[in-house]
């Protein structure tokens, strides 16, 4: 820290000092800085460089020809002048530097004001990339420069120099000078994390970390990949603050008991056994028990049930529903598409017969159906409603909503979950996802949910044979499909249309449908997409389920949840246009029965090397979690979860993808702290952390 000079010797810069008091800031620049959320010196301490320049390579002009990387050199200006380039009408400022071993031409474009700053006779240090001009003469274009003072001292020359982003019209270079003045205030910074937590998180002191990030000692791999002790300290503090805030919020909510007592008795167990058409897998039993235990607790359940496609989440949800209903409460099951809601409705009816009073609630209900539903839920004559977002509307009121289940929850935003939640008096909540979110990301997104994982598929499931083929080989693929259909199997053919957009161009799908109809004259071919009238969609799905359709040509509406055991062939057209997780979801539509199943991905002959590699990677990945990790790496968290996902926390220093493991460490530490220190202390610490260094942690 000794290298950092205070702004004015007689005057100490403190974290709370307003920025206008810094040398070279003043009121005008202070206002500009404020637009970027920088008001005090404290804010500047956390205003980190986004890259660094290693200016330690100091050379003499005579040696320049041997070097092809940015260098630092110092010399006297022997001539300087401006001119206008004839070709591009650029304003050019030129200077010739002499360091005693030789001279070099230095050129700046469109910075005419330099003429007032760099004068003949000045001693300057520059940092830039040496090049040969078209005549083979050495020159350096637009280098960073620094004037050397009388004593020959300089701040940047020959150092590792931090580069900050510009703020409004304040250049990176000026930002560097401003931040430099803030740095001595680090000495007055209190570490908000008690030593015990620092120890658990295995991190060092805040002061050192901040100084090191602004003024690295070394630019090694560890530092540049944000893995230095300084980086870990800052990231873990940010994650810890986030996790503790989640825990505190939840602990406060839980301080009120849910006000209903749930018991599980033998009659219910017998009923569940009657309903079950198969034996639960070990994983299903385990998560069912986790859920039943939660339901019986005084505090409301808040649990994420995660399981690969086809792992059997629906039956677990149904068991939970039976428990809630037999204890006298209502249950809502929310699904993202009408097709899926319909499927759940049919399946559950089939399993429970008339022992439960079930209703369906979707956007395509008639006015009469809607009235019946509203009355039934209000008066408590409906036990279970299965529906889409239509059941979130205000008119829908429950007599006593005890359990809210959200299927494929990544398709819903926080707001929609909240709406459902508010329809009950602290209802128990179970959210399910077949998008295998890596555990670390689940923690980041839903750190306040408990996590149950079904990590085992029902018995007898064979791996789905997956292959990637170029579009030119399509005829061979058709022949294979025909063979399969001949053996009584059914197939899906999926075209990449974005179902969520308002405008949807159905041409590729309709053309594909026509082509396939002609190619498979003896087979029953049908088409399915989200824009079809609900009744038609339902009818088509029903016919497919009953084996009356051989080949279903569809958009991604069948992506989530659809379950037809006899379908064993999935053909995905233009596969390069899907994300890996989406491909995995689609592939999960087959391999649900006893037939050997296949998934063939057709890619464009001209697809990029990168796209090919991605598909190859998918071809080899069996487990949804592997796919998700890879997808996350390739696309980043935002795209991975889709634009419709809300509630992704934004971090300033940490990166959910890169810093997986740190998030888990932070979560464990937060849980431990809340337990040992108690709620009031944790609330105080959250205030301190979020009001201070990590106030940028937001959830939207």
Q: Which residues in this chain contact Mg ion in the complex, by CB under 5 A?
A: 561
Q: Which of 156, 383, 448, 563 binds ligand ADP (CB under 6 A)?
A: 563
Angle at 35 between CA 29 and CA 40, to 5 degrees: 65
Task: Give helix 313-326 / helix 338-352 axis angle, nearest 10°.
Answer: 60
Q: State yes or no: residue 441 binds ligand ADP (CB under 6 A).
A: no
458 binds, among ligand ADP, Mg ion, none (CB under 5 to 8 A by kind): ligand ADP
Backbone angles phi, psi at 545, to 5 degrees: -60, -40
Nearest approach, Cβ of 348 to ligand ADP (angstroms)?
Answer: 11
Nearest approach, Cβ of 495 to ligand ADP (angstroms)?
Answer: 22
94: DSSP letter: E
Q: How many CB atoms lie within 10 A of CB 485?
A: 19
Q: State yes or no: residue 312 binds ligand ADP (CB under 6 A).
A: yes
Of 104 and 316, nearer to ligand ADP (C-beta) is 316
Q: State yes or no: residue 230 binds ligand ADP (CB under 6 A).
A: no
CA torsion sign for 581, 587, 592, 595 is negative
Nearest approach, Cβ of 333 to ligand ADP (angstroms)?
Answer: 12
**Alpha-helix runs per DSSP H in 402-461:** 414-421, 439-446
312 binds, among Mg ion, ligand ADP, none (CB under 5 to 8 A by kind): ligand ADP
Nearest approach, Cβ of 463 to ligand ADP (angstroms)?
Answer: 16
Of 80 and 318, nearer to Mg ion (C-beta) is 318
Which residues touch 45 (CB under 8 Å, ≥6 apart)?
15, 182, 183, 185, 186, 189, 210
559: DSSP letter: S
Q: Which of 592, 595, 660, 667 binds ligand ADP (CB under 6 A)?
A: 592
Of 113 and 278, nearer to ligand ADP (C-beta) is 278
Q: State yes or no: residue 180 binds ligand ADP (CB under 6 A).
A: no
Which residue's CB atom is positioned nearest to ligand ADP?
A: 312
Nearest approach, Cβ of 456 to ligand ADP (angstroms)?
Answer: 9
3-state SS, 102-151, equals CEEEEEEECCCCHHHHCCCCCEEEEEECEEECCCCCEEEECCEEEECCCC
Best CA proximity match to 237, nearest among 674, 680, 678, 670: 670
Q: State which of positions 291-310 bind ligand ADP (CB under 6 A).
A: 307, 309-310
Of 398 and 492, nearer to Mg ion (C-beta) is 492
Q: State yes or no: residue 341 binds ligand ADP (CB under 6 A).
A: no
Q: State yes or no: residue 192 binds ligand ADP (CB under 6 A).
A: no
Nearest approach, Cβ of 579 to ligand ADP (angstroms)?
Answer: 18
288 binds, among ligand ADP, Mg ion, none (CB under 5 to 8 A by kind): none
Of 81 and 565, nearer to ligand ADP (C-beta) is 565
Q: State which of positions 247-286 bind ligand ADP (CB under 6 A).
A: 278-281, 284
Nearest approach, Cβ of 683 to ligand ADP (angstroms)?
Answer: 38
Of 174 and 276, nearer to Mg ion (C-beta) is 276
Which residues touch 531 (CB under 8 Å, ≥6 apart)?
504, 506
214 binds, among Mg ion, ligand ADP, none (CB under 5 to 8 A by kind): none
Q: State yes or no: residue 585 binds ligand ADP (CB under 6 A).
A: no
Of 33 and 333, nearer to ligand ADP (C-beta) is 333
CA torsion sign for 17, 21, 23, 28 is positive
Q: State yes or no: residue 162 binds ligand ADP (CB under 6 A).
A: no
Q: Which of 55, 214, 313, 389 binds ligand ADP (CB under 6 A)?
A: 313
Of 447 and 561, nearer to Mg ion (C-beta) is 561
Q: State yes or no: residue 623 binds ligand ADP (CB under 6 A).
A: no
**Alpha-helix runs per DSSP H in 11-120:** 26-35, 41-45, 114-117
Q: Which residues of 493-529 are buried (b: 16+ CB within 10 A; e: fewer)?
A: bbbbbeeeeeeeeeeebeebbeebbebbeebbbbbbb
SS3 388: coil
Of 193 and 434, nearer to ligand ADP (C-beta) is 434
579: DSSP letter: -
Q: Give the pairing type, strands 490-494 and 567-572.
A: parallel
Nearest approach, Cβ of 454 to ligand ADP (angstroms)?
Answer: 7
Q: State which of positions 408-437 bind ligand ADP (CB under 6 A).
A: 434
Q: Which of 237, 311, 435, 540 binds ligand ADP (CB under 6 A)?
A: 311
Cβ 291 vs Cβ 430: under 8 Å: yes
Nearest approach, Cβ of 350 to ligand ADP (angstroms)?
Answer: 10
**278 vs 272: CA distance, rounded Å:** 11
HSE-CB of 407 using CA atoms within 13 angstroms: 29
Nearest approach, Cβ of 491 to Mg ion (angstroms)?
Answer: 21
Q: Which of 204, 328, 363, 458 binds ligand ADP (CB under 6 A)?
A: 458
Tokens 């607790």 correspond to: 297
Nearest approach, Cβ of 420 to ligand ADP (angstroms)?
Answer: 19
Q: Which residues of 649-686 are buried (b: 16+ CB within 10 A; e: fewer)?
A: bebbbbebbebbebbbbbbebbeebbeebeeeebbebb
Of 38 and 453, nearer to ligand ADP (C-beta) is 453
Of 486 and 565, nearer to ligand ADP (C-beta) is 565
**653 vs 662: CA distance, rounded Å:** 12
Binding footprint of ligand ADP, residue count (CB under 6 A): 19
109 binds, among Mg ion, ligand ADP, none (CB under 5 to 8 A by kind): none
Cβ 401 vs Cβ 422: under 8 Å: no
Q: How buried is residue 535: exposed, middle or buried, by Cβ count under 10 Å (0-12/13-18/19+)?
A: exposed
181 binds, among ligand ADP, Mg ion, none (CB under 5 to 8 A by kind): none
Residues in the site for ligand ADP, rule: CB under 6 A? 278-281, 284, 307, 309-315, 434, 458, 561, 563, 565, 592
């Amino acid at each position: 820290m000794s290298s950092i000079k205070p702004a004015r010797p007689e005057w100490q810069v403190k974290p709370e000092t307003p920025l206008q008091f810094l040398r070279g800031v003043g009121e005008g620049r202070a206002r500009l800085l404020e637009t970027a959320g920088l008001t005090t010196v404290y804010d500047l301490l956390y205003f980190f460089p986004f890259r660094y320049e290693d200016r330690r390579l100091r050379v003499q002009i005579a040696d320049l020809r041997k070097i092809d990387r940015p260098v630092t050199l110092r010399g006297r200006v022997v001539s300087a002048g401006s001119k206008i380039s004839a070709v591009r009408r650029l304003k050019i400022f030129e200077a010739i530097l002499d360091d005693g071993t030789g001279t070099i031409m230095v050129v700046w474009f469109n910075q005419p004001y330099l003429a007032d700053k760099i004068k003949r006779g000045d001693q300057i240090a520059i940092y830039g990339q040496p090049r040969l001009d078209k005549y083979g003469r050495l020159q350096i274009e637009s280098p960073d420069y620094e004037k050397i003072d009388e004593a020959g001292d300089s701040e940047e020359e020959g150092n590792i120099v931090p580069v900050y982003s510009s703020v409004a019209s304040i250049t990176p270079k000026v930002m560097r000078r401003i931040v430099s003045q803030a740095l001595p205030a680090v000495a007055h910074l209190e570490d908000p994390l008690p030593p015990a937590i620092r120890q658990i998180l295995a991190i060092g002191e805040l002061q050192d970390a901040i100084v090191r990030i602004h003024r690295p000692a070394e630019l090694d791999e560890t530092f540049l990949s944000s893995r230095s002790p300084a980086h870990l300290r800052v990231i873990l503090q940010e994650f810890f603050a986030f996790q503790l805030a989640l825990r505190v919020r939840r602990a406060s909510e839980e301080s009120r008991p849910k006000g209903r007592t749930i018991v599980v008795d033998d009659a219910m167990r017998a009923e569940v056994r009657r309903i079950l058409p198969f034996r639960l897998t070990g994983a299903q039993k385990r998560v069912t028990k986790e859920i039943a235990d939660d339901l019986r607790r005084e505090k409301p359940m808040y649990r994420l049930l995660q399981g690969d496609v086809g792992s059997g989440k629906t039956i677990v949800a149904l068991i939970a529903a039976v428990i809630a209903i037999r204890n006298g409460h209502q249950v809502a099951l929310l699904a993202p598409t009408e097709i899926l809601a319909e499927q759940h409705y049919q399946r559950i009816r089939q399993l429970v017969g008339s022992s439960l009073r079930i209703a369906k609630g979707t956007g395509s209900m008639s006015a009469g159906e809607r009235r019946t539903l509203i009355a039934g839920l209000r008066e408590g004559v409906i036990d279970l409603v299965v529906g889409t977002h239509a059941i979130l509307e205000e008119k829908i009121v429950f007599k006593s909503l005890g359990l809210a289940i959200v299927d494929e929850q990544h398709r819903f935003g926080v707001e929609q979950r909240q709406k459902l939640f508010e329809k009950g008096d602290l209802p128990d909540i179970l959210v399910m996802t077949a998008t295998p979110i890596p555990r670390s990301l689940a923690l980041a997104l839903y750190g306040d949910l408990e996590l149950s994982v079904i990590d085992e598929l029902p018995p007898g499931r064979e791996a789905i044979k997956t292959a990637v083929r170029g579009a030119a080989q399509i005829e061979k693929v058709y022949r294979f499909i025909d063979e399969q259909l001949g053996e009584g199997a059914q197939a899906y053919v999926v075209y990449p249309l974005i179902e969520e957009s308002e405008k949807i161009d159905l041409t590729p799908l309709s053309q594909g449908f026509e082509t396939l109809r002609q190619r498979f004259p003896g087979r029953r071919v049908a088409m399915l997409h989200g824009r079809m009238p609900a009744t038609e969609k339902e009818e088509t799905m029903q016919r497919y389920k009953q084996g009356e359709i051989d080949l279903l040509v569809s958009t991604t509406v069948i992506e989530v949840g659809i379950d037809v055991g006899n379908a064993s062939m999935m053909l995905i057209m233009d596969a390069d246009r899907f994300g890996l997780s989406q491909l995995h979801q689609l592939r999960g539509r087959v391999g649900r029965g006893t037939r050997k199943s296949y998934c063939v991905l057709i890619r464009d002959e001209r697809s990029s090397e990168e796209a090919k590699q991605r598909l190859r990677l998918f071809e080899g990945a069996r487990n949804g979690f592997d796919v998700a990790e890879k997808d996350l790496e390739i696309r980043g968290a935002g795209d991975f979860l889709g634009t419709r996902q809300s509630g992704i926390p934004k971090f300033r220093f940490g990166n959910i993808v890169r810093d997986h493991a740190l998030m888990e460490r932070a979560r464990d530490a937060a849980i431990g702290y809340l337990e040992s220190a108690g709620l009031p202390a944790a609330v105080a610490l959250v205030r301190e952390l979020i009001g201070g260094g990590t106030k940028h942690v937001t959830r939207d």
